[in-house]
Amino acid sequence: MPDRATVRQSLFTVITITAMTGGCVEKAPPPAPAVVEEPPTPPPSYTLEPDQKSIGTDAVYTTQPDETLLDVARRYDLGYTQLITANRGIDPWLPGVGHKIEVPTFYLLPDVPRKGIVINLVQQRLYYFPAGSSVVETYPIGVGVQGRATPLGTTKVLQKIAHPVWRPPPSIRKEEPDLPAVVPAGPDNPLGDYAFILGWPGYLIHGTNKPDGVGRNVSHGCIHLYPEDMERLYKEVPIGTPVRVIEEEIAGAWLDGQFYVAAYPTKEQADQLDVNQPVTPSVPKDLKKRVTKFAGHDVDRIDWTAVDAVVQNRSGLPVVASTPELAASPPAP
């Protein structure tokens, strides 16, 4: 039965659309890919086993007539940057018919306490761990532009508002003087139909009337979600839910005896990808320290050449970066 690395390689060589099924638990090897008409849409939530480090699976989708990558992103609950990063070289607006598109829905979970809402700004993704359950939900998000990042640290949901009214703050009205003082609820309201007021004044988690901005650096520090995702969260998340915001561009975990590393584009690189410009390489100064921390045991098995390639590529895809485990030496006669 193939491991994840073998399955990923096979995904790019199939003629029909293939997808992996199941395979969330790390203790057993993942199942072989199954041939289906199209990859299944991600489930609304994933059940977690104790100490589970990943969720989801990768899949491949074949583009259809008159379809953009924005259409594919929304269908599979992906962010725009997330999808184009995993599929570089394909025109996002005119991909053409019959192109094989990687659907990157295999995630390494953030290495933080699994309580309430966890937001990784550089990954442009939100994770929700409902209290008293063993599940996680995950959604793509739009985040702040350069100089308008959401604060890092912890806060909580203070208030939930349906059909919010938007009152543009002075800083935004200074940039856009023609904005009205009050934008009523409705299709022209950039907050969408639902919003969470956070403990940080002026920062919200909310829907949007411009879903093409999900998975991009587009806001003044608020977190944007697809309307359907925000509606689901609004129904589920109670007032008082903790919110943790991190900015971790490197993730790592042992899965099925192999060490996986993922590297997400920095904010600057995401902006370059957004306008189809060459990506400026960026290597964290403390890369070795970060990867070693994730590796924990068996540090000697880290393939640092593979790690360097992952960081240079910044695809956001978890990639094997370990050497094979050596068999134990036989006892002396």
Q: Which tokens sit at 51?
A: 């100490």
Mapped onto helix, strand or coil, the DSSP state of residue 322 is strand
Partners of residue 126 on adjacent β-strands: 119, 139
Q: Annotated catalytic, 24?
A: no
- In degrees and rounded to multiples of 5, residue 48 shows phi and psi of -105, 135
Give the DSSP H or E segment for 325.
none
Q: Annotated catalytic, 99?
A: no
Length of the chain measured in residues: 333
What stretches of the chain show up as alpha helix (H) in DSSP?
Answer: 4-11, 69-75, 80-86, 170-175, 227-236, 267-274, 287-295, 304-313
Read out DSSP for 22-91?
A: ----TTSPPPPPEE-SSPPPPPS-EE--TT--EEEEEEEEE--TT--HHHHHHHTT--HHHHHHHTTTS-
For residue 18, give the amino acid letter: T
HEC per residue, 112-123: CCCCEEEEECCC
Catalytic residue among 24, 99, 163, 222: 222
Do the bridges between strand 18-19 and strand 100-108 make them parallel or antiparallel, or are there none, so unpaired?
unpaired
The residue assigned the tokens 């411009």 is 210
Query: For residue 275, with 0-12 CB atoms within 10 Å meaning exposed, 13-18 middle and 19 or more buried, which class applies?
Result: exposed
Catalytic residue among 24, 206, 220, 297: 206
Q: How far, in Å, CA of 37 to CA of 61, rounded?
A: 9
Is residue 67 a contact partner of residue 74, using CB atoms and an 8 Å limit?
no
Q: How far, in Å, CA of 207 to CA of 189, rounded?
A: 10
Q: How far, in Å, CA of 308 to CA of 310, rounded?
A: 5
Q: Catalytic residue positions?
A: 206, 222
